[in-house]
Amino acid sequence: MEVLKDISLTPNALKVLEKRYLKKNEEGKVVESPEELFRRVARSIASADLNYGKSTEEVEAVEEGFYQMLTSLEFLPNSPTLMNAGRRLGQLSACFVLPVEDSMESIFDAVKNTAIIHKSGGGTGFSFSRLRPNGDIVGSTKGISSGPVSFMTVFDTATEAVKQGGTRRGANMGILRVDHPDILSFITCKDDNSKFNNFNISVALTDEFMRAAEEDKSYDLINPRTKKITDSLKAKEVFNLIVEHAWKNGEPGIVFIDRVDASNPTPQIGHIESTNPCGEQPLLPYESCNLGSINLAKVVKGNEVDWDKLRDITWKTVHFLDNVIDVNKYPLPVIGEMTRGNRKIGLGVMGWADMLIQLGVPYNSDTAIKLAENVMEFIQREGKNASAAIAEERGVFPNYKVSIYEGKMKLRNATITTIAPTGTLSIIAACSSGIEPLFAISYVRTVMEGTKLIEVTPYFERVAKERGFWSRELMEKIADKGSIKEFNEIPEDVKAVFITAHDIAPTEHITMQAAFQKFVDNAVSKTVNFPHNAAPKNVEDVYLLAYKLGCKGVTVYRDGSREEQVLTKGRKGKKQQASDSRQKIVPKKRPEVIKGTTRLMKTGCGNLYVTINEDENGHLFELFTSMGKAGGCAASQSEAIGRLVSLAFRTNVEPDEIIKQLKGISCHSPAWYDGGRILSCSDAIANALEKYNVKGEKGNGDRHKVVLLMGACPECGGAIEHEGGCAVCYNCGFTKCG
């Protein structure tokens, strides 16, 4: 598909749209252009105006305004709205919070509802703080409770099953209060990288806990079932444990829960106990929210912010997002009821780093902090003015009389602003992500057949040519480094403006987050990046500064902290190894005698015989396939899979991880076998391995020897970048959070 003349889309934006957003027919062929997508969305969202007495001509004018705003990439709504508006599914919200009460019925109702929401393209957040702790009595059976962490496994497994067929992967936020008796096991629950991969986890820190940590005092643990004190812990020791684990692998994050609930606009409706998966949207149980982001790169005129244009876009976007609430097809009736009761919207920004670059302002400067406050205060003020104008015409949100606004400002929406991670949206808009700095000035993008292209930030390319230091060789060198601070041929004033995430001190990241938070109703999603050699004390300092400056939560990521992370900058495919002993992995040699079994699996391509052998120690060692009477491509591909699986076995990869990679892959010719659906030959191999593995409980002896690219994109193998409280691949557009 060629770049459209009237919509300025980059090749990468087109690739992302084709893969994730544009309509496809039953054969998987794209049957919608980007122009048609934006028209579909604009028409669907504008149609809500018909509910409020507008004429057809007036609605068409609103549609045209929305269409121009979308096609100019001045604003984009959250991914479910782009995917589903004007289509049969019609679920348009990104963020949901579900309650998990202390009963088996509530837990499994939540699991069921989670699956429904994930299938529709949403992400879910939960507080597990109401569940009785591990070892507590179960009254109905006189048995023993397994506790919140155990039940989180059920949610994680359900998410894994549902996401196989989705266009947008399900994501969860799990939150536990710091005063829950199981808090220590929750903090450490992701020590094993193979567990809870569909969860972000955060500890809900109370003001009481923060005071106790500051004063080096103990605090009480409270059983949520009995409301009685069960034990006490040294707050500083628990705080240090959180810091240590966040330093080690980025989790858990922290949420200052009392501060979050204090800004709850409808406290009489309920308390806020959880957020959406990336932490920026606190919600009541059964509440949802739809988000959207203004592209700040589009509101610069000369050397100044175009305030008039920003005002116009803000008013249009509030109208747009309020309409979404009416057009939305909610996955559960109770969610529709709660959402329409408060009519929360979350208007945020992207392209912040691009705006600063155009204005010649360094990201880590006092000028940038002041500008952040001015820009967000302006959007907050104009957003509320727009909401008030809509309320004049359509009425305030139904729960207004029990809100903090009652008798003050009459608003259509209980909340207006949120800073969300923009993930694939910033790829479509070809701008910087959220309020993050640039991640790299120049980087490598892998295209079809492994061709590697050097991508350069357009603003830097223009400046380099204007200032006379442009060369292809320099861009390749910068791609190796990611940053330009070590290049003497680049002027110092250019280095100051084109600063990247790892050139910025962690405390400067937090200062920027706090500047935006001052004028945001909900919360701010941002990643605080640390260099690999950062110490735990650096993480502690950031947490304390965030609390002091009024942030509602913090997400940190230390470069290379995830096991086997592929570096996110550099052309040479370097890996940050967890230890020197793992620099080179040599497959085990085949012994003279080996034993195993052969299993028949029926596939759409014919009978597939899968032979699985184990070594003398009972560890899985090799896998062979035979395609019956069939041959050709299916047989050769199955043989190739068998060889690669054998190689994985011989380098101590756990079978569960191999199953996870192969299971659910589909082809054009599925088949039914043994009461289940076999989607492809690779799915059949996974099923055979699963049956063998479960029957014999076979493993390879050491889960910590799993050799996986934890920082690699699961779809294309490219580098994952951690920003905006999320993980995103700028090579293919994969993201955990949309």
CA distance 48 to 66: 13
For the chain, the residue count is: 738
pLDDT tens-digit profile of 504-561?
Answer: 999 999 999 999 999 999 999 999 999 989 999 999 999 999 999 999 999 999 988 8
Residue range 648-657: average pLDDT?
84
Angle at 657 between CA 654 and CA 658, to 5 degrees: 95
* Contact in structure between 662 and 682 (CB atoms under 8 Å): yes
Q: What is the reported pLDDT for 451?
A: 61
Range in 25-29, 193-197, 540-544, 710-714 with the lowest mean pLDDT: 710-714
Nearest to 347 by CA among 587, 147, 522: 522
* Contact in structure between 542 and 557 (CB atoms under 8 Å): no
Where does residue 218 rank: exposed (0-12), middle (13-18), buried (19+ CB within 10 A)? middle
Angle at 389 between CA 387 and CA 391, to 5 degrees: 70
| Of 425 and 706, more confident | 425
Given a cut of 60, whether residue 164 has pLDDT beyond it is: no
| DSSP run (H or E) holding 245 | helix 235-249
Cα–Cα separations (whole angstroms), residue 399 to 166, 289, 438: 34, 15, 41
Nearest to 259 by CA among 244, 247, 275, 245: 275
CA distance 99 to 86: 30
Q: What is the reported pLDDT for 78?
A: 96
Give the DSSP per-residue string, 590-632: PPS--EEEEEEEEETTEEEEEEEEE-TTS-EEEEEEE-TT--H
Query: Which backbone phi and psi does 393 adopt, to 5 degrees?
Result: -85, -40
Cβ partners under 8 Å of residue 184, min gap 6: 233, 238, 241
Q: What is the reported pLDDT for 592?
A: 73
Range in 142-151, 193-202, 256-265, 698-707 with the lowest mean pLDDT: 698-707
Q: Which residues on adjacent β-strands are paired with residue 256?
A: 205
pLDDT tens-digit profile of 46-67?
Answer: 999 999 999 999 999 999 999 9
Q: What is the reported pLDDT for 580?
A: 38
CA distance 298 to 6: 16
3-state SS class at 417 = strand
CA distance 209 to 235: 6
Residue range 675-684: average pLDDT?
81
Give the DSSP per-residue string, 302-349: TTEE-HHHHHHHHHHHHHHHHHHHHH---SSHHHHHHHHHH--EEEEE
Given a cut of 90, whether residue 360 has pLDDT beyond it is: yes
Q: What is the reported pLDDT for 501?
A: 93
pLDDT tens-digit profile of 109-141?
Answer: 999 999 999 988 889 999 999 999 999 988 766
Task: Specify which of 239-243, 473-477, 584-588 reaches the highest per-range mean pLDDT.
Answer: 239-243
* Contact in structure between 719 and 452 (CB atoms under 8 Å): no
* Contact in structure between 565 and 575 (CB atoms under 8 Å): yes
Residue range 634-654: average pLDDT?
84
Given a cut of 50, whether residue 280 has pLDDT beyond it is: yes
Q: What is the reported pLDDT for 2?
A: 38
Confidence class for position 88, pLDDT limits 50, 70, 90: very high
Given a cut of 60, whether residue 14 has pLDDT beyond it is: yes
Please state the pTM of the whole predicted model.
Answer: 0.81
Q: Which residues on adjacent β-strands are paired with residue 446?
A: 452
Confidence class for position 185, pLDDT limits 50, 70, 90: very high
Q: Which residues of 93-104 are buried (b: 16+ CB within 10 A; e: fewer)?
A: bbbbbbbbebee
Q: What is the reported pLDDT for 670?
A: 77
Query: What letter does residue 458 receive in the DSSP assignment?
Result: H
| Of 576 and 625, more confident | 625
Q: CATH 3.20.70.20: does it fit domain 96-275?
A: yes
Nearest to 735 by CA among 10, 13, 20: 20
Number of H helices, E strands in the chain: 23, 27
Nearest to 515 by CA among 437, 435, 439: 435
Q: What is the reported pLDDT for 730?
A: 67
Q: What is the reported pLDDT for 678?
A: 86
3-state SS class at 125 = strand
3-state SS class at 459 = helix
Half-sphere exposure of residue 630, counting CA atoms within 13 Å on the CB side?
Answer: 20
Give the DSSP per-residue string, 71-95: HTTSEEE-HHHHHHTTSSS-----E
Q: What is the reported pLDDT for 636?
A: 79
Q: Which residues on adjacent β-strands are paired with residue 123?
A: 95
| Of 439 and 491, more confident | 491
Q: Which residues of 61-84 are buried (b: 16+ CB within 10 A; e: fewer)?
A: ebbebbbebbbbbbbbbbbbbbbb
Nearest to 210 by CA among 250, 262, 254: 254
Q: What is the reported pLDDT for 655?
A: 86
Average pLDDT, the chain: 88
pLDDT tens-digit profile of 596-624?
Answer: 888 888 887 888 889 998 887 778 888 98
Given a cut of 70, whether residue 1 has pLDDT beyond it is: no
Range in 354-363, 512-521, 579-588, 638-647 with the lowest mean pLDDT: 579-588
Q: Look up residue 522 and give its two tokens.
A: 């909900």
Q: Which residues on adjacent β-strands are paired with residue 347?
A: 292, 417
Given a cut of 90, whether residue 673 has pLDDT beyond it is: no
Confidence class for position 346, pLDDT limits 50, 70, 90: very high
Q: Which residues on adjacent β-strands are paired with residue 253?
A: 202
Where does residue 576 rank: exposed (0-12), middle (13-18), buried (19+ CB within 10 A)? middle
CA distance 702 to 402: 56
Domain layout of the chain by residue ranges: 1-72, 96-275, 595-705
Residue range 417-421: average pLDDT?
97
The total of other beta-carbon atoms located within 10 Å of residue 206's CB is: 17
Pairing of strands 95-97, 123-127: parallel
Alpha-helical regions (H) of 499-653: 506-517, 536-549, 632-650
pLDDT tens-digit profile of 260-271?
Answer: 999 999 999 999
* Contact in structure between 133 and 123 (CB atoms under 8 Å): no
Pairing of strands 720-723, 676-678: unpaired
Residue range 478-483: average pLDDT?
86
Catalytic residues: 276, 278, 280
Q: Look up residue 233 and give its two tokens.
A: 């812990």
pLDDT tens-digit profile of 692-718?
Answer: 865 555 555 443 333 333 455 666 656
The total of other beta-carbon atoms located within 10 Å of residue 36's CB is: 13
**Helices 352-359 and 458-467, axial angle in degrees (round to 10):** 20
Fold entry, domain 595-705: Sufe protein. Chain: A (3.90.1010)
Cβ partners under 8 Å of residue 543, min gap 6: 239, 242, 243, 254, 554
CA distance 283 to 620: 46
Given a cut of 60, whether residue 448 has pLDDT beyond it is: no
Confidence class for position 410, pLDDT limits 50, 70, 90: very high
The total of other beta-carbon atoms located within 10 Å of residue 55's CB is: 10
CA distance 532 to 328: 43
| Of 495 and 160, more confident | 495
Pairing of strands 282-283, 229-234: unpaired
| Of 380 and 705, more confident | 380
pLDDT tens-digit profile of 208-232?
Answer: 999 999 999 999 999 999 999 999 9
CA distance 248 to 645: 30
* Torsion from C-alpha of 50, 53, 57, 61, nearest 10 degrees: -70
What percent of the chain clears pLDDT 70, i.e. is strictly above it?
87
* Contact in structure between 219 and 208 (CB atoms under 8 Å): yes
